[in-house]
Amino acid sequence: MKPLDPRDRSAAIAAAIFLMVFGAGFLLLPKVMLYLGTISPYLAAAVGTVFVLAFFFVFWLRARYQRRR
């Protein structure tokens, strides 16, 4: 097995960080939405929507970056 290229290593670290951040976010999202739902159901829906869209926004940004390279 050959050693990892520095670019591959940084991509793996970035992917691990991405998974940890969004994994923790998706685990906490129901509690946050229930709490915000007591204030306003529209606020809870907006926060949930923004979080899910942010997940896909990261992939969109990555695809744009890869296309340029």
Tell me the per-residue pLDDT of 3-46, one tens digit each, with 9 for 90 and over: 767 777 888 888 899 999 999 999 999 999 999 999 999 999 99
pLDDT category at 2 given cuts 50, 70, 90 is low
Question: What pLDDT does residue 1 have?
Answer: 64
Query: CB count, 10 Å around CB of 18?
Result: 14
Give CA angle at 67 (5, 10), nearest 5°: 25
Question: What pLDDT does residue 27 have?
Answer: 96
Whether pLDDT at 63 is above 80: yes
